[in-house]
Structure 1
Amino acid sequence: MKSENLYPKDVFGSFSIRDRIIAEFAIKANFINVSDGIKDISNVLSKHKLDILDLILTSMGSSQFFIAIVDCSRIEGELEKAIKDIENINGVNEVKYATKKLKEKLVDRFTIPTFGGGRFEALILGKDEFSQVLTEIKKSYGSGGEAFIYMIGFKLGSVCGEKYKPEMLTAEFIREDVLIFQAFGWGIPEIRYLDIKKPKIVIRFHKLFESSFVSERKTEPNCYFFKGFTTGLFSKFFKKDLSVVEVKCIAKGDPYCEFIIEAK
């Protein structure tokens, strides 16, 4: 899928905005009908002229956790009254709130990032920042730095492959699972060839993070971390040693990065 057709999915950690009064609401609930619960919360916010800027819902079992960033600039009455009205909604168990302490942003103080419906805790990094760190390591340590970065990627991919490998590996699983890279912001995948019996996979990545932010044009493929990661990941999926070769790279001036994954 083209990047212009993809929607942004904000992972709230801090909300940057100046010269407006904003607050974070953290709500724990056990709504029988979650849609009705969302409507009830929205009605209270609307009643008090609190404008929603960001809203995240996580469901775990019978519990729901809402994080709302609201603009209080038009509020009618006291903020505490709005909080009380939310607490009185049937199914709401707890409400926490905080207002912006810094002029330029509000920092989340009530949550930790997760994925998989709250089952797995996540670490969030800016991909331009991570890419810059990898670039500096390669620049400072040359081929030794490249080998080190590859090994970090390989070990991480092996851990993930062991953790998330399917009971039965199918072509459909591979086609769906590579979308994880897109969902987690690594890049936008496009499978060009797939044969799980050989095995052989050709994957093209648009906007792959490791090379998308490189300022100096390279003469050789640049994605050592990602090559290591895919080697470890797919070796665990296929239960055999695979090799990964990067044949096209954004850092070289190609419009995308492309990898050939196959048995050694």
Structure 2
Amino acid sequence: MNKMNSWNELKCIKSRHVKEIFCSVRSPGRRVVEFVVRLRNVPGAIAKVSKALADLNVNILSGFHTAPPEEETGSWSFFADLSESGIEPEELAEKLKELKEVLDVNFSKGDFNGIFIDDMHFPMTVMGERCAVFRVETIGKMFGSLMEKFGSGAAFILYIMGVGAGEAKIDSVTKRYGIGGVKALQAVLAERMAKGWGIPRLAEFNQEKLEALIEVEDLFECLPYMGRKIGPQSLFFKGYLEGAFKRLFNKEFEVKEVECIAKGDEKCKFVVSVRRT
């Protein structure tokens, strides 16, 4: 098989960083307020707001901003510590509204004994699609409970769930990006990292035989069992790969997990080949 450059290698990424989802901040005894600022989608808009906050001695904590290139407006959401500023959130909101780049300002003062939880955003979306977040540990317990109670039946169900999800993802990616074949596959794998599934890489691919080797670091499905099991643990993701290849190349495929972090390997490795009839 031919060795492949990964999507990330092609973009010359030199390091990766934790992507913390904006959810809450713990700061007992501080005046923390959550703000959502609607802005014009123009250069310097966030800088103007940031300067106004700095001039008032307001400390910006964690947050995020969205500004789709095709939209004329965007938003900046963040927790801010007003403890050293002496200003009330109502007054601060009015001052920010005076900036020509600012269209609207909303805020929330929710406080659970020093824990400030985002109560201004719902639903959660990723690339415009509705989503929900589960901890890796929770997923591990869910899958583990199924396996304990239903054994091989649960394994089959998880695998089939993965197949369906992989097929649906290819449909979504080909429609969104207008690409197919190995490029669509690389896009799907790149999205898995962006969504926190793991760090996948198309290590080898034979276009003629439609055979592939896919490596995944920190695969979410196997992380709860790292170093604790005697055999490979991936069921859902293995099915996901089968579904993706099946939809992309209109053939039946077989996927084998030949290495797994659950049994002490450095990463999970999957060999994909056309199913022999």
Tell me the TM-score normalised to structure 1 length: 0.89
SS at match of 1:80: helix
State how far apart, in whole Å, the 1-side matches of 2:199 and 2:154 are.
26
Where does 1:65-214 land on structure 2 (aligned, <5 Å)? 65-112=75-122, 113-116=124-127, 119-165=128-174, 167-214=178-225
SS in 2 for 1:11: coil
Distance 1:228 1:16, change over 3 A: farther
Matched, 1:39 2:47: yes
The offset of 1:4, in angstroms, is: 10
- Between the aligned partners of 2:95 and 2:163, the Cα distance in structure 1 is 52
**Offset at 1:190?**
2.4
The answer (yes or no) to whether the contact 1:169–1:238 under 8 Å persists in 2 is no
8 A contact 2:22–2:63 mirrored in 1: no
Deviation (angstroms), 1:44: 1.6
Q: What is the aligned partner in structure 2 of residue 54 from structure 1?
A: 62
* CA 196–169 in structure 1, closer or farther in 2 if over 3 Å, else same: farther
Q: Distance in 2 between matches of 1:16 and 1:225?
A: 35
Amino acid at match of 1:77: I
Q: Could you tell me how far 1:148 is from its partner in structure 2? A: 1.5
Secondary structure of the structure 2 residue equivalent to 1:56: strand
Counterpart CA distance in 2 for 1:181 and 1:248 is 19
The superposition leaves residues 88-146 of structure 1 with CA deviations (integer Å, 9 ceiling, x where unpaired) of 11132221101232024222122232222xx2222222222212211221122211111
Query: What do residues 53-111 of structure 1 show as CA deviations (whole Å, max 9, x unaligned)?
Result: 11311113111011111122212322222111111111322211012320242221222
Unpaired runs of 5+ residues, structure 1, are none
Corresponding residue SS for 2:221? helix
Letter in 1 for 2:199: I
Measured after TM superposition, the shift of residue 215 of structure 1 is 6.3
Partners of 1:207 and 1:215 in 2: CA distance = 9
Q: How many residues align?
A: 260
The 3-state SS of whatever aligns with 1:111 is coil
The DSSP-based 3-state class of the residue aligned with 1:10 is coil
Letter in 2 for 1:134: F
TM-score (norm 2): 0.85
Distance 2:82 2:232 in 1: 50
Match of 1:218 in 2: 229
| Consecutive unaligned residues in structure 2, runs of 5 or more | 1-7
Between the aligned partners of 1:158 and 1:213, the Cα distance in structure 2 is: 26
* 1:24 corresponding residue in structure 2: 34
Cα distance in structure 2, aligned partners of 1:17 and 1:196: 54
Shift of 1:219: 2.3
SS in 1 for 2:151: helix
Call closer, same or farther: CA 1:137–1:17 in 2, change over 3 Å.
Answer: farther
